[in-house]
Amino acid sequence: MKHRKLPLIALACTLPLAACAATPEALKPYPAAAAGFQRHVIDLPARPNEADHKVELIAGKTMEVDCNLRRLGGQWQEKTVEGWGYGYYQLEKVGPAISTLMACPDSSRKQAFVPVGGEPMLVRYNSKLPLVIYAPADVEVRYRIWSAAENSSPAPQQ
């Protein structure tokens, strides 16, 4: 009997963390992806105090790299669905890799995820609407959830 309950408990614990697929009805207001672009949709699970959370959008490509630090050029844009007021995010162009060009101690190369550089793209956490992102088809989109600390600290006066 215990063996049957364990998988159900494990499943129940993971369900609130899983992002669900957006329904076609929820995506109706959003434009289709333009030629050469891919639409990515993230449905965030409901959380208490959603204002205390942010979503970081991370775009990049898996590339062969050496020991140098690398970033891709590119810039996020926030856009609005006409007539609806819903926001979405678009990464127009992803430029060439930028590197430190320092000499490496060995000539080893490896496959690694190289993100688009610049300021992190932090967006509002909102479980009521899908988070819609448009990026070039050859770009991978990832995300992370950031949470504020429960306690705030007073700023010192001078």
The CATH number of residue 97's host domain is 2.60.40.550
Q: Is 154 among the domain residues? A: no
56 in Cβ contact with 146 (< 8 Å): yes
> What six digits make up the tokens of 91?
């990464």
Q: Is 117 among the domain residues? A: yes
Burial of 130 (0-12, 13-18, 19+ CB in 10 A): buried
Alpha carbons 50 and 65: distance in angstroms, whole number: 38
Q: Is 51 among the domain residues? A: yes
Assessment of whether the complete model's pTM goes beyond 0.75 = yes
> Rounded to whole angstroms, what are the CA distances from 137 to 20, 72, 92, 101, 147?
22, 15, 11, 28, 30
**Total domains, the chain:** 1
Q: Is 114 among the domain residues? A: yes
| Partners of 88 in the β-ladder | 79
Alpha carbons 75 and 71: distance in angstroms, whole number: 12
Q: What is the number of residues in the chain?
A: 158
Q: Is 61 among the domain residues? A: yes
Q: Is 70 among the domain residues? A: yes
The range of the structural domain enclosing residue 49 comes to 36-144
134 in Cβ contact with 81 (< 8 Å): no
Q: Is 1 among the domain residues? A: no
Per-residue pLDDT of the chain (158 residues; tens, 9 = 90+): 444 443 333 333 333 333 446 788 889 999 999 999 999 999 999 999 999 999 999 999 998 888 887 889 898 999 999 999 999 999 988 888 877 777 788 877 888 898 998 788 999 999 999 999 999 999 999 999 999 998 889 999 99
Identify the helix (H) or strand (E) that includes residue 41.
Answer: strand 37-42
